[in-house]
Structure 1
């Protein structure tokens, strides 16, 4: 009998002003700050979680890379999943920045690739994912200690790998998610872990089968991550009460406004009638 695949449990650091006691009711005490977010990370580290997502935004919260650098040496085992938006930074400098973070974390870092539009940008899906693919390839090359040969539309430069990359043992795992055809093709070619969202069992199984097939066509295999919000209490009754409290003050119009902020295929599918 083959050994079971390893299972990793991760938590979420609320870097983007996304911590609420009740959805839709902002609480100034829960806004993203170094102390509040560091408390979340240190608690998850102490409780034995394998990893913790450091999300990336622009208008809200605090910067992902700067915060991760600040807490790097005060954690012991947890692996930060550092979200970076492709196109925000010159690719070689992003590689140098991530290599430095990986060094500060003693090789404990994971990179979550984000393909959304940049602040103030309007870019169609196809070129946006083409940019993402080039950035992922550039990061894998440079963080692997190899020379980037250039020639791309989005990453055209030829440049040597930064020296610090040679000290961290290669490129950290690249996590990536998206349900559009463009996103799935990028993941099949370059992701190490394909991230998914909650859905019915048949729908999740269909995505798994599709992504395994796509990756196989490139001679690759994928691991899979499943992101879900959970409400945990000592008893089911307490958990249901807590879940009810979480949404009790949410005005329907506010909920629609929150959903309308995202136009990704994943969110549109999650919000569509069954």
Structure 2
């Protein structure tokens, strides 16, 4: 049985708690990422109708739970995809945190299960387990965590974790628990996804490679009598013409030096993440072959860890590429772009109308008192006529 083509898409945006700016790999064009700025992005994503936002995790980021808690009360529909970290956090404490944030946000919490792929960062957090041992911990963590959130009294004795009389007194808002998202490209990660995860995530590889990976996960889940759905993490560079979009892509890395690329690639090479290695293989640390698939550009990955590819083009082109991923089973798109505030607007205004959004009811056609958009009043006397911008 093949993976079913997605007929609608949920689109999430990204909160850049590790920094933002107009260019990559430089302080030129950088901007302070404080709570006020993150609030602007979250409220823009909420107003524009995005399904939710991803908050990254790791020592380079502000804590995702604290930030999500601060922003839940200033948004209305926006969901928050927040990380739990097996090995760093007790599963019982994580369950209480999950239930609390889910309740105070009225069911707007999504959970991103992150095992961690950088041994140096893991050691700094007191985790000295091998790659496969971390996934063993993840499996045990989720057995306890899911049991608690499902209302069970948990007694568990595993290789790594042990709990006696574990219980959750105050349940989550969503039943039986908030959805679990998870990414990982190794066989150990596939085992976790097949056994426990609701939505499997991949970074933005060419569609053929993504289809192959999804097929492996889907088959593993079927062997366990389960089904999983699929999402993808990508950057976007959308402009009104393809030429403008590709100029913007070149401009984004215009301040990146060869030394910066070399230093970044050296750091990535120490990681034991299979997904990170797959990202590196797309570009090999070279600037000259960054379009790794039609309109899929690997320039971000020269200096950024994790998701390193962007869809580049005019609205129709980017929408077509998204639909290509939908045709292989992707129904969730977690997107970002630089700077994150401006690109959130560009993508929503230019591409949302071209997509079969699963959260279309969130995308209200400019519910403002002046019934816009119509641009600035002409000569202080009349409104511009509504028209569709022509593109070449």
* TM-score where L is the length of structure 2: 0.65
Of 257, 269, 274, 1:251 maps to: 257
- Structure-1 separation of matches of 2:44 and 2:194: 34
Alignment of 1:1-274 (within 5 A): 5-17=7-19, 19-26=20-27, 30-58=31-59, 60-116=60-116, 118-120=122-124, 121-165=127-171, 167-262=173-268, 263=271, 264-272=273-281
- SS at the partner of 2:102? helix
Higher relative contact order (CA 8 A, sep 6+): 2
DSSP-derived class of the 1:39 partner? helix
**Structure 1 residues 156-165 or 39-48, which shifts more?**
156-165
Which entry has the higher C-alpha Rg, 1 or 2? 2
Q: Which has the higher helix share?
A: 1
Structure 1 residues 100 and 166: CA distance shift in structure 2, 3 A: closer
Structure 1 stretch 77-86 or stretch 147-156: which is displaced more?
Answer: 147-156
Q: Deviations 1:33-59 (Å, cap 9, x if unpaired)?
A: 21122211111111100011011111x
Distance in structure 2 (CA, Å) of the matches to 1:90 and 1:183: 20
Aligned Cα RMSD in Å? 2.1
For the 8 Å contact 1:32–1:61, the answer to whether it is kept is no
Cα 1:4/1:197, change in 2 over 3 Å: closer
**Could you state the TM-score of these two structures normalised by the residue count of structure 1?**
0.92
CA 1:125/1:61 → structure 2, altered by over 3 Å: closer, same or farther? closer
How far apart, CA to CA, are the structure 1 residues paired with 2:62 and 2:135? 25
Count of aligned residue pairs for this structure pair: 271
For the 8 Å contact 1:30–1:36, the answer to whether it is kept is: no
Give the 3 Å change call, closer, same or farther, for CA 210–9 of structure 1 in structure 2: same
| Equivalent pair of 1:115/1:128 in contact (CA under 8 Å) | yes
More strand by share: 2
Change (3 A) 1:127 1:219: same
